[in-house]
Amino acid sequence: MAFDRIIVLTRSQCLIHSVNTLDSPIAIDFKEDSMYGLALGPKSLAIIGWNGIKIYSHHGKYLSSPNYQITSAGRVSPDAVSIGYDVLAIIDDSNKNVVRFFSCETGDSLDNKIGKIIHEVDIEQIYLSHKMGLNERYTYIIMIDKKKDMFIKPMGKHYVQHAEDGAFKLGTHITSAAWDEKSNILCCLEETKANLYYFPLAPFVDIDLLNETKESIELGTRCAKVVSFCGNQCTLSLQNESAIHVPVSEGYSLLHEYASSGNWDECLRLCRFRNIPSMWATLACLAIQHDELEAAESALVAIRAVDKLQHLRSIRAMPQGEVRYIHNQ
């Protein structure tokens, strides 16, 4: 269940229920008894079978089949497939340290547009971010390798590879992760803890603020997987398949929503009302990412980041043309 849909998959049929009309699902029938897994995205879903992967819209319309041939004797794990806003990512089953990208609309390979990821060790799980704001250039991918190290990397249609855009290690001993459906907030499992990254993109904005935007919740037990994450509702499954819920403040998801729509006054009002250091630090990252220097200054004042504040004020004192030149550099 995700993105206001409940998806029921059998070997020969897929039923797509809207949470508002549970009694009238959309049915997708398969000619062969060969489908066994799926991956959900914000606009589409991928149904995984022995003969390949098929992509459908949430309304049941067939979109494409990625131009990708399954070569291994075993089946493709659903953890090896992820759908972002308009991109499908697959861990190459013939070379587990490679992630390839395909267009959801056409199924064409995006190797010539955004390239492919080549990691130093085998990759076991991938997660594409679901949300892309109006002024954002990138989709982001989370990768968990066989060493249980978790990396984040920016990917997108307009991606241009630079040294600073390489993969960044966010954590170790990670067994599962999930992006928030409503924003670029990340939840991951580290041994007996659930880590919430309210701005996991901080390494590409201001790495010093990464720990300021992170919260760790001790669970007292090991969990198997992050089942779902939507706003303030994060569900984890235990080893015995029972579920527990992690409390997540809805304010962070709302903060991301305001920032994506350019409502910076609302961002400031929300942060002043909650007055939580991690929320102010998240606002600082969001404002820097969107070049909103006034909002960034207010946030840096709140978290008492004196050195960053002085640097930001020196930038704001420059003529507008020079500021744009520095940002482009």
Q: What is the pLDDT of residue 277?
A: 95
Specify the pLDDT at position 317.
Answer: 66
Q: Which domains does the chain have, with CATH numbers?
A: 1-172 (2.130.10.30), 255-328 (no CATH)
Q: Which residues pair with 6 in a beta bridge?
A: 17
When pLDDT is cut at 50, 70 and 90, the band that residue 165 belongs to is: very low
pLDDT of residue 163: 33
Strands 13-18 and 5-9: antiparallel
Find out whether 65 and 107 touch, Cβ atoms under 8 Å. Answer: yes
The pLDDT score that the predictor gives to residue 149 is 96
Residue 178: the pLDDT is 94
Q: What is the pLDDT of residues 40-85, one digit of tens each?
A: 998 899 998 877 889 999 999 999 998 877 666 567 888 899 998 8
pLDDT of residue 274 exceeding 50:
yes
pLDDT at 136 over 90: no
Q: Are 202 and 285 in contact (CB under 8 A)?
A: yes
The least confident of 50-59, 193-202, 267-276 is 50-59
Average pLDDT over residues 168-175: 94
Measure Cα distances from 306 to 278, 292, 299 in Å: 16, 18, 11
pLDDT at 176 over 80: yes
